[in-house]
A = this chain, B = another copy of it.
Amino acid sequence: MNPDITRERENATFNVEKLTHILDGGIEKTKRRREIESLVISDPDFQSEDLNFLSRSERYDAAVKKSAQMILKLREYGISDPEEIYCYKSCVHRGRSEPLDLHLAMFLPTLLNQASPEQMETFFIPAWNLEIIGTYAQTEMGHGTHLRGLETTATYDPATQEFVLNSPTITSIKWWPGGLGKTSNHAIVLAQLHTQGKCHGLHAFIVPLRSMNTHIPLPGVVVGDIGPKFGFDEVDNGYLKLENVRIPRDHMLMKYAKVEADGTYVKPPSAKLTYGTMVFIRSMIVGEAGRALAKSCTIAIRYSSVRHQSEIRPGEPEPQIMDYQTQQYKLFPLLATAYAYKFVGQYMNQVYHRITGDISQGDFSELPELHALSAGLKAFTTWTASEGIEVCRMACGGHGYSRCSALPDIYVNFVPTCTYEGENTVMMLQTARFLIKSYRQASAGHQLSGIVSYLNESERRLQPQSVSSRPTVVNVNDLASLVEAYKLRAAKLVELAAKSIQQELQKRVSQEDAWNNSAIDLVRASDAHCHYVVVKLFAAKLGEIGDTGVHSVLSTLALLYALQGIQQHSGDFLQTGLLSVPQLSQVSQRLKELLAQLRPNAVALVDAFDYCDEMLNSVLGRYDGNVYEHMFEWARCSPLNKTEVHESYHKYLKPLQAKL
């Protein structure tokens, strides 16, 4: 054990294990998670060469091998709870995506939600037994977030009682679905349904892609891998071009909408039924933002405690780089953010499960709010977490660029969350639409409830109008007061966005153009709304914590989170008159004090995330802090070191020397 990191742990002022239980959601959950992790870690079938040393084809191969083993072992161990499956799977693939992801997370759940009882019988058990390996093919080369724009067609032919599927243009080729390229033999294809000469919009169809015997693509199916990407090397994201592919009528998912034998279309009872999955996945992503940032902070903070560099005081030994104020300022607010997002993720998960119950009872009343919240928070957390991962990586200096740090992988595997499941700017604008609608309702005298109740007229009248007209009352040392300030900032920025739209309308432009011409303000308002929600939920979480030591350190983190957000957006707080210039100086001063205050607990706070070395897979983030020996060992295994002299020397350099 590196003595520096041992000393860090000795200096901690709280019980790490207790904080771990809070993060896991209880002592029993921690225990079970560790059991599952050790099942995988001790399993010889899941040991493999470092993926960084393999070619892409080898990486895909290794991932398929592990996934196949995984399916067998999940059955062997009887692990069937979705959260436990997720935990086992994450551990097998070390948090990476894998070829069966969409089969497990989209194909099977979509069958469960949208297949009729007869279809369940036909497809679910074969899919459960991996005879049918499926993916979910929605996105097309030319069409992403805007679903109405999708071009793939499914035209019903009553003569044969079949649907004929086509990719009529190059832009209509399905593009991106994970597992589509090489792994899946079926796909749920989203296509525009045409029957009896009319288009009825997007519907889902089960399309066989490859022979069940030979795995060779079926006639009319042009399928393959879309090529190397920024990360996701193990996944065969694929393309799919359909050329007059015929499927039987009962291959349309018919739990809700139906096409009868003669081609008569039967509408689904509610369009909102498919919202749920989207909300669930976006909520999961919020938690994932917390996890990705927690991992990155674990690596960067542990490394900062064993890395010595430069000098603060001449003549003294090089200090731990964590002693530099600039290093603390890079890492500790991100540590606070990781905690914040983990707690927000827990909250979203709870709300989702509560509301799912209501939805199954036919009560959709809370869905719009949750939908808006999950969209905005998904964007807010993934943007900041992505940037944060890179800050952590660069805080490790040169070694953060080495693949052995794991930080490049964490980044490239996480950053796509900014784009998939709803592009972030589009998500922010969806939340803004809800906020503006709520603002207008409040302006019209309706009393709002829930998270947007701060937009109610009565509250708004209490708000400051400008820097001069009202003295500020924010107490920069009091978290509740800061939550209030974030709330008022959000209210003000929603109002500003609404006024911008109003001003545009006065120029006689259309509603739609007024919206687009105010989009910058709308995104800013959504951002402020989400920021308020995160600060509020972090503060609320503190109320649940009984242990004094843990409560104390989390309170410091929450205050740091709130104050750093104010410093970063100081313009907003000054502009809206919520803070005065002298208070802003207080914020800066207090921030520096909080950094110094957190310094002795930094390593313990990342230890509490409880990532074992096998899960982190980072030489820099090792629990024992013995970084350099293991980096050297890792490098010596690099493929370029398999021979002392690389063949290129004999092929090019030696002959060149002769010519010059």
Contacts and interface: CB of A to CB of B under 8 A. Distances in A.
Contacts of A629: 170
Given A226-B635, A227-B404, A640 B398 contact: no
A539 to B, nearest CB: 23
Most B CB contacts (10 A, CB to CB) among A309, A393, A591, A629 go to A309
A416 interface: yes
A574 B467 CA distance: 11
A130 interface: yes
Contacts of A572: 570
Interface in A241-285: none
A644 interface: yes
A39 interface: no
A159 interface: no
Interface string A388-401: 00100110011011
B639 A309 contact: no
Given A224-B636, A236-B640, A628-B142, A401 B55 contact: no
A216 B61 CA distance: 34
A219 interface: no
B312 A513 contact: yes
A195 B641 CA distance: 35
A178 interface: no
Contacts of A636: 224
B313 A652 contact: no
Most B CB contacts (10 A, CB to CB) among A56, A312, A640 go to A640
A326 B75 CA distance: 48
Contact of A581 (B139, B171, B324, B575): B575
Contact of A61 (B129, B330, B647): B647
Contact of A419 (B71, B231, B401): B401
Interface string A65-82: 101100110010000000
A326 B638 contact: no
Nearest to A308: B142
A508 interface: no
Contacts of A207: none
A415 B387 CA distance: 13
Contact of A56 (B141, B429, B639, B660): B639
A622 B573 CA distance: 43
A141 to B, nearest CB: 5
A526 to B, nearest CB: 11
A648 B61 contact: yes
A403 interface: yes
Most B CB contacts (10 A, CB to CB) among A307, A326, A415 go to A326
A337 to B, nearest CB: 17
Q: How many copies does the complex hold?
A: 2
Given A131-B657, A632-B173, A182 B640 contact: yes
A515 B314 CA distance: 13
A318 B149 CA distance: 8
A230 to B, nearest CB: 4
Contacts of A215: 645, 649, 653-654
A644 B222 CA distance: 10
A: interface residue count bin: 35 or more
B408 A420 contact: no
Given A224-B640, A571-B569, A326 B648 contact: no
Nearest to A171: B628
Contacts of A61: 646-648, 651
A64 interface: yes
Nearest to A176: B398
Contact of A640 (B60, B65, B401): B60
A12 interface: no
Nearest to A524: B588
A102 to B, nearest CB: 15
A314 B632 CA distance: 60
A37 B88 CA distance: 53
Contacts of A397: 144-145, 419, 423
Given A398-B176, A420-B398, A646-B182, A130 B653 contact: yes
A139 B407 CA distance: 21
Contacts of A592: 517, 520
A325 B142 contact: no
Interface string A507-547: 00010110111111101000000000000000000000000
Given A64-B649, A64-B651, A71-B656, 16 more contacts: A61-B651, A64-B646, A64-B648, A72-B656, A139-B398, A141-B632, A143-B309, A173-B632, A215-B645, A224-B635, A229-B402, A230-B393, A230-B402, A312-B512, A397-B423, A574-B581
15 contacts: A64-B646, A68-B656, A130-B656, A142-B308, A144-B398, A149-B318, A182-B645, A224-B640, A227-B635, A230-B403, A232-B401, A236-B646, A313-B510, A567-B571, A570-B572
Interface of A: 52-53, 55-57, 60-61, 64-65, 67-68, 71-72, 75, 129-131, 133, 139, 141-146, 149, 170-171, 173, 175-176, 181-183, 214-217, 224-232, 236, 239, 307-314, 318, 323-327, 329-330, 387, 390, 393-394, 397-398, 400-404, 407-408, 412, 415-416, 418-420, 423-426, 429, 466-467, 510, 512-513, 515-521, 523, 567, 569-575, 577, 581, 584, 588, 591-592, 628-629, 631-632, 634-641, 644-649, 651-657, 659-660
